[in-house]
Structure 1
């Protein structure tokens, strides 16, 4: 399947817990929890002792470029409570985080932006970062 997501078992568990927390928030108009559950349910989940170095996971450093632009950018995908723009730690719940999680290097993906805009980005490289956390 083209652009199928591949998640580590631990990432799938963290995303599922985040989704459950978000679904409990009754006042959320467009609930990201539903989108997270969809991502987890349609992804290939790796066995507990398996890791893919070519796929974006939580705590991965990702270099990417907007499609057709030579402007390399780097971010680290983290849980929402660890997001820090100054360090380029981006929440998995952000539009780019939701688009990147589970995707493979060299894939071109669509990122849903505010005001119903879409941006295509190409994943250049994925590297593991030694940040470990759990959803509180």
Structure 2
């Protein structure tokens, strides 16, 4: 399968809980919960305590470049409650977070932007998550 996604057990469980929470809220406009369910259902879920090197996970740092530019950007994909754009901590529910999660370094992904534009990004490098960060705490 081209451009497949791999999710760790922990990421799949966390994203499932977020999706369930969003679906219960019933946001009508854009429900990222449905997108998360689609991502989880079409991803390869790794066995417990297995992490595939070079794949974007929650709390991993991603270096990427917009296709056609030399510009390199860096961000960390986090759970919504940990997002802080000023610190480049980007929620997994943002268009870029949804596009990157589970993807492999050196692949190109398309990000569907709210303006109905699509931006292509090349994932340059993925630095593994810091295991001391992040657990979902929905209240």
Gaps of at least 5 residues in structure 1 are none
TM-score by length of 2: 0.94
Residues 110-129 of structure 1 correspond to what in structure 2 (within 5 A)?
110-129=110-129
Q: For 1:64 and 1:38, how far apart are their aligned partners in 2?
A: 24
1:53 CA displacement: 1.8
CA distance in 2, matches of 1:59, 1:26: 26
Mapping 1:102-113, distance limit 5 Å: 102-113=102-113
Aligned to 1:31: 31
On the 8 A contact 1:18/1:135 being kept in 2, the answer is no
Q: Residue 90 of structure 1: CA displacement? A: 0.2
Whether 1:134 aligns to 2:136 is yes
The 2-side partners of 1:114 and 1:132 are apart by: 27
1:66 aligns with 2:103: no
CA distance in 2, matches of 1:70, 1:115: 24
Count residues in correspondence.
136
Q: For structure 2, list consecutive stretches of 5 or more residues without a partner in the other structure.
A: none
